[in-house]
Amino acid sequence: MLSISSYIALAVACAASAFLAGCGGVSSANKSTVPSSNTVAVVVNAGPNGGYANGLFATVSICVAGTSNCQSISGVLVDTGSFGLRVLSSALTSSFSSALPREKDSSGNTIAECAEFSDGITWGPVATADVKISGEVASAIPIQVIGDPSLSAIPSSCSSAGAPEDTLQTLGTNGILGIGAFILDGSPYYSCAGASCKPTTLSAAQLVSNPVASFAKDNNGVIVELPAASGTAATLNGSVVFGIGTQSNNALGSARVLTIDTTSGNIGNFKNTTFNGKSYTGFLDTGSNGYFFLNSTITAMPTCPSPASGFYCPSSPANFSATNVGANGANSSVSFSIHNADSLFAASSAAVFPTLGGPLSGTFDWGLPFFYGRNVYVAIDGRATPGGTGPYWAY
């Protein structure tokens, strides 16, 4: 996760221990104009706790596997930079939570996960559940229950990786829907006997996983469709469409495919992002709430004073251009602007900030503002699509 100011709430970025999570023109956003079984409505707003900046939220239903015992959870952050569903224990009713079966190892110990993000960790047991999103179902997959009181003691090897974000106040959302370009989450897992938890190794079937990959159909990727945002706003409505080239509403069209690198040392990124003749790490991520890139020395923009020190505060709007290069050699030039974050946040009712940005040394994290006004395709690793086999981004 990337820290932001204390009065704006946090933003979820790529899971640090997993794969980090595409020149075609800008696609027309929101081409899916009628409800469909493979389309879920999403909204950028202040989130379930209020005060969230550039957070993309959806409603997800989880069910005790194979039953009609289900609970619908709103205010779940849509994150193309992580993989798997994570739900706050506090967002579940106690009766439903107790009905969800927890995963056990061969010794009967409870399996827990320490999901590591850029600015904190989520800790909690792994449960098995059916995940329902619009008309799609991922049956009996592992999910994480964050902050479950039955496993309140966090091992030091987990807590040392970052501050726990296991409440609505610290996470800023009721859960995280990780629908990035890979299937399995690579965070550390633990075997817990009572309060004693030790690191363990699990089979792939036991790992928290991208629910889209487990859909019966439309399981090769997603399309994030958001309209353009010309300035700050309270809300912005869009859609996530499941599948690429599997139905009439998810054709790839003329979007340019930029494949994601899968080589050691650069997994989950573009081949590079070039800026002023130099190459940097680059990736797309709806879970990051701004353009996070480089530093003040390179960008010539100062950071804001506390409490917004994680953002840039230029004295006047700053305009930039960078080029994303896929592992397949395809490239796309992106122009964007950064405005003074303190001035943006002064609009107290706003949650949509298309010109919000901050520093991230050596990296271009193309966060949610990048997605405004684009249809962005995220193809899952190893899955066939009309644009080739994933993983790739296309736009």
Question: Cα–Cα distance between 270 and 329 in angstroms, integer?
Answer: 10
Per-residue pLDDT tens over the stretch 308-345 = 999 999 999 999 999 999 999 999 999 999 999 999 99
CB 116 within 8 A of CB 17: yes
Question: Looking at residue 35, what is its pLDDT?
Answer: 57
- The runs of H, that is alpha helices, within 223-362 are 296-299, 341-345
- Does residue 336 sit in helix, strand or coil? strand
Q: How far is CA 362 from CA 176, 215, 268, 295, 296, in A?
A: 26, 36, 16, 8, 12
CATH 2.40.70 fits 251-394, yes or no: yes
Residues with Cβ within 8 Å of residue 265, at least 6 apart in sequence: none
- What is the residue whose two structure tokens read 């309270």? 234
HSE-up of residue 108 (Cα within 13 Å, Cβ side): 1
Question: What is the pTM for the complete model shown?
Answer: 0.92
Contact between residue 30 and residue 227 where contact means Cβ atoms under 8 Å apart: yes
- Which residues touch 297 (CB under 8 Å, ≥6 apart)? none
Residue with tokens 């999403």, as numbered in its chain = 42
Between CA 241 and CA 36 the distance in angstroms is: 9
Report the chain's terminal Cα–Cα distance, integer Å: 24
Question: Do residues 189 and 207 touch, judged by C-beta distance below 8 A?
Answer: yes
Predicted pLDDT at 119: 79
pLDDT beneath 50: ranges in the chain? 1-34
In this chain, the answer to whether the domains covering 39-214 and 251-394 adopt an identical fold is: yes
Whole-number Cα distances in Å, 221 to 7, 78, 377: 34, 14, 7
Burial of 313 (0-12, 13-18, 19+ CB in 10 A): buried
Cis peptide before 164 (omega within 30 of 0): no
How far from chain centre, in Å, is Cα 126? Answer: 19
> For residue 115, what are its two tokens?
């999901």
pLDDT tens, position by position, 234-272: 999 999 999 999 999 999 999 999 999 999 999 999 999
Q: What does the pLDDT read at residue 36? A: 84
Question: What is the longest distance spanned by two Cα atoms in the chain?
Answer: 61
- Architecture of the domain made up of 39-214: Beta Barrel (2.40)
User: Which tokens in the block code for residue 111?
Assistant: 């399996």
Domain ranges (residues) in the chain: 39-214, 251-394
